[in-house]
A and B are shown apart, each in its own frame.
Chain A
Amino acid sequence: MSHKTREELDAAASEVLAALLVKKADTGLKNRDRLNFPQQDMPSQDPLERRHNMQEVTFGYTEAQALVEAERCLQCKNAPCIAGCPVAIDIPGFIREITGKDFARSIGVIKEASLLPAICGRVCPQESQCQENCTLGKSLKDQEKSVSIGRLERYVADLDRASGAVSIPKIAPSTGRRVGVIGSGPASITAAADLRKAGHEVVIFEAFHKPGGVMLYGIPEFRLPKQIVEDEIETLRKMGVEIKTNFLVGRTRKLMDLLEKDGFDALFIGSGAGLPKFMHIPGENLVGVFAANEYLTRSNLMKAYDEGHADTPISHSKKVAVLGGGNVAMDAARTAIRLGAEEVNVVYRRTRKEMPARVEEVDHAEEEGITFHFLRSPTRILGDENGHVRGIECLSYELGEPDDSGRRRPVAVAGSESVIEVDTVIVSIGNDSNPLLRKTTPELNVNKWGNIIADDNGKTSIDRVYAGGDIVLGAATVILAMGQGRKAAAAINEMLAREAVEPVPSGTGSGL
């Protein structure tokens, strides 16, 4: 596979752009023209180089690329892309501003709906959201050829960041009400910002020593630079949101105490999915078997990849098996490569098509030399005499009838066991909900998977307590979490506004 440099991509785009602009000035662009403009590839670090560093893989579009890509948009009246966006960004609107080179207005359009465009432009699964329904992709009979909405979003978001003029939203006059936000991931950041904008005092409670949630401990630097997350947190601080780290609600303080003793008028729970799932196969507790959460947290949050500085150790693996096919599995596999593994195998029980990971991450992983074993599922992990992993036994599968999710169910092929020799196994098959909050808050209703039950507005079984993000959805995405945070914040704002008109007794207000 030949890797094109950013300069090469830019030169090609500039050529297309020049011709395009002449035609646009002459006769105007027809839909037929737009269908023919080449989709712009994302410039990225050479795979052979990036395998050895933690820097961001992708560079983002050049201006010429962004302008060409934006002209691919058909500006459809019915805009099916908007329906695919969990926060309903006016997608044709922001793309139109790009074609007019008014990048400031373009980011303004996005920010009306999304608080974290630099993050979502990087980590959203666009191919299953906005880009899935894109008319251009449909016309070209290839949804992968849809307008690269995410890359355009990132382009204007990065320009905005680089301009240094990141604006602090306007804060309404103080209402004197206090809202606590539990967790500091995407759902919580969004909720906190919207609640603060309404003039409430907002306190975020984060269990870790740094705020940012999954964007900090889970998603690696090479996919989402931590500086971006830190800047978003800084914006919250500048808005006057207070952030208490090392504060585990349920343990450091009970949830009900925050409401009943500490003077909070409402709470939003955005504490995330939590507990890693295991496969319950023999050998899972051998030395060298990790949950992806642990492996990634060591590398990302604890900076174990920076061995010269970090105190936290991480396994020096040579041959690795990663179990699972989601984004987290891709992150773990690509982290292992960067930490010096010679061989990384992703074992997934369905086929490439069914992988829940973003297409771009799978492509990147492949470019970096990761081996995929499709239609294989582990039956046991083998250990040596020291209790250390020495291999993983897998069974082969073939696809049978579709299951409830509409994906064809893999069926085991009897007698097809084979062993992959590895010294490390990283289990990345999702998360169960963390039991801590429900155990310490019996009033909180949860479903059979332990996820908090909330209505469309995020309201839980406890009055004044709302929830959103993975703790409600199970493992989902940054943008879905944001959407839920936003809805819950709107509901809390409405409740508190109603009470301002017809006052009710609030908490005792002892403060913290």
Chain B
Amino acid sequence: MHKIIEKQQLSEQVFRMKIEAPLIATERKAGQFVILQLDTNFGERIPLTIADADAAEGTVTIIFQAVGKTTINLSRYEVGQSIANVLGPLGNPTHIEKFGTVVCVGGGIGVAPMHPIAQAMKQAGNRVIIIMGARTKELVIMEEEMRAIADELILVTDDGSYGRKALVTEPLKELCAQTDGKPDLVVAIGPPVMMKFCAATTRPFSVPTVVSLNTIMVDGTGMCGGCRVTVGEETKFVCVDGPEFDGHQVDFENMLKRLGSYRGQEERARHACVLDAEADKLAALQTGASK
């Protein structure tokens, strides 16, 4: 059991939780993830990236968007409650070394897993430029933490409600187009479509681009093969070969389709879950009213 020590709501659907997981806190490195499950008998196992960890305290921080059945349920957990199962750290750590200038692109909730990577890149002596993007101002997360790491931080929103009105690919392209000092490495984490376009943006400039994939997974240890992606004509498993891959080699079209494998069922489950919540609210209101 993994007790929730802190909980914060970062935006309407995005939550941060600090949970007890001493072994994972000790072993984890930037780029790794956990798989968690709320109910041992019937719960689903979902992969979530590790946003931060404190080995001394024995905690890891996860940031998640309440969009599926499990994440919606998890968002209702309060401090003091426990998560039944947390496995990790999984996946290969990010390859960290002094590359020179590293551009870290975080889109939406992808800023969370980017945080430890940017931190490690900075510690390795890189000049770290962070591009963080969100649909709108309310969805911008971890700005302060990222600002503390960045040599330069570029903030964009789709609607221009905060920072520059642009998609992350625009400043990325400008950085790559610089005649002197184009980036030595780009790391992009965010929605699959964003990563796809980041890779497309950097390709003409031949800037090496690493993306971190979050695919469908069951065990997360190489056993099920559900997470497989096509990378440069080869089939790779995100859980044991990744989660980071050369963005210029990833077949994003195939990955996007595979991500939708269970869309109908997931949508029904999410809907049922939301309906449950509405029913709970109504019930609470009615009891409140009857008092």
Contact B224 A291 (CB under 8 A): yes
Q: List 25 A-B contacts (CB under 8 A).
A: A208-B219, A246-B86, A248-B87, A248-B88, A252-B23, A272-B223, A274-B223, A278-B235, A286-B254, A287-B261, A290-B226, A293-B225, A297-B224, A298-B218, A303-B42, A311-B44, A311-B69, A311-B70, A312-B43, A312-B218, A315-B262, A316-B265, A387-B254, A387-B257, A435-B222
Contact B266 A303 (CB under 8 A): no
Which residue of B90, B218, B221, B229 is within 8 Å of A294 (Cβ)?
Answer: B218
Q: Is B269 among interface residues, defined by CB-CB distance under 8 A?
A: yes
Which residue of A246, A272, A310, A387 is within 8 Å of B253 (Cβ)?
Answer: A387
Knowing that A251-B27, A286-B254, A387-B258 are A-B contacts, what are 14 other residue pairs whose CB atoms are under 8 Å apart, sorted by A's residue number?
A207-B87, A207-B221, A210-B40, A252-B24, A252-B88, A285-B258, A287-B261, A290-B225, A291-B226, A294-B226, A297-B224, A311-B39, A311-B42, A313-B265
Contact A302 B225 (CB under 8 A): no
Contact A436 B240 (CB under 8 A): yes
Interface size on A, residues (CB 8 A): 45
The complex places the Cα of A435 from the Cα of B240 at a distance, in Å, of 8
The complex places the Cα of A280 from the Cα of B257 at a distance, in Å, of 19
Contact A285 B228 (CB under 8 A): yes
The complex places the Cα of A313 from the Cα of B225 at a distance, in Å, of 16
- Measured between beta carbons, the chain B residues less than 8 angstroms from A252 are 23-24, 27, 87-89
The complex places the Cα of A298 from the Cα of B85 at a distance, in Å, of 17
Q: Is A309 among interface residues, defined by CB-CB distance under 8 A?
A: yes
Which residue of B43, B86, B224, B229 is within 8 Å of A311 (Cβ)?
Answer: B43
Q: Closest 3 A-B residue pairs measured CB to CB?
A: A291-B225, A387-B257, A294-B224
- Measured between beta carbons, the chain A residues less than 8 angstroms from B37 are 209
- Measured between beta carbons, the chain A residues less than 8 angstroms from B221 are 207, 248, 274, 434, 436
Q: Is B237 among interface residues, defined by CB-CB distance under 8 A?
A: yes
Task: For residue A251, give the distance in angstroms from its CB to the closest CB of chain B.
Answer: 6
Contact B224 A293 (CB under 8 A): yes
Which residue of A284, A302, A434 is within 8 Å of B44 (Cβ)?
Answer: A302
Name the prevailing secondary structure of the B interface residues: mixed
Q: Is A276 among interface residues, defined by CB-CB distance under 8 A?
A: yes
Contact A436 B222 (CB under 8 A): yes
Q: How many residue pairs, one in A and one in B, have C-beta atoms under 8 Å apart?
A: 127
Q: Is B84 among interface residues, defined by CB-CB distance under 8 A?
A: yes
Given contacts A248-B87, A275-B240, contact A297 B219 (CB under 8 A): yes
The complex places the Cα of A291 from the Cα of B223 at a distance, in Å, of 9
Interface residues of B (CB under 8 A from A): 23-24, 27, 37, 39-45, 69-70, 84-90, 218-219, 221-226, 228-230, 235, 237, 240, 251, 253-254, 257-258, 260-262, 265-266, 269
Contact A246 B225 (CB under 8 A): no
Contact A209 B84 (CB under 8 A): yes
Q: Which residue of A lies closest to B92 (CB)?
A: A439
- Measured between beta carbons, the chain A residues less than 8 angstroms from B45 are 209, 302, 312
Q: Is A245 among interface residues, defined by CB-CB distance under 8 A?
A: yes
Q: Which residue of B lies closest to A209 (CB)?
A: B85
Task: For residue B70, give the distance in angstroms from its CB to the closest CB of chain A.
Answer: 6
The complex places the Cα of A137 from the Cα of B261 at a distance, in Å, of 49
Q: Which residue of A lies closest to B253 (CB)?
A: A387
Q: Is A36 among interface residues, defined by CB-CB distance under 8 A?
A: no
Q: Is A498 among interface residues, defined by CB-CB distance under 8 A?
A: no
Q: Is A386 among interface residues, defined by CB-CB distance under 8 A?
A: yes
Q: Which residue of A lies closest to B87 (CB)?
A: A246
Q: Which residue of A lies closest to B273 (CB)?
A: A311
- Measured between beta carbons, the chain A residues less than 8 angstroms from B87 are 207, 209, 246-248, 252
The complex places the Cα of A217 from the Cα of B225 at a distance, in Å, of 14
- Measured between beta carbons, the chain A residues less than 8 angstroms from B218 are 294, 297-298, 302, 312
Given contacts A287-B261, A297-B218, A297-B219, contact A276 B224 (CB under 8 A): yes
Q: Is A306 among interface residues, defined by CB-CB distance under 8 A?
A: yes
- Measured between beta carbons, the chain B residues less than 8 angstroms from A303 are 41-42
Contact B89 A275 (CB under 8 A): no
Contact A315 B261 (CB under 8 A): yes
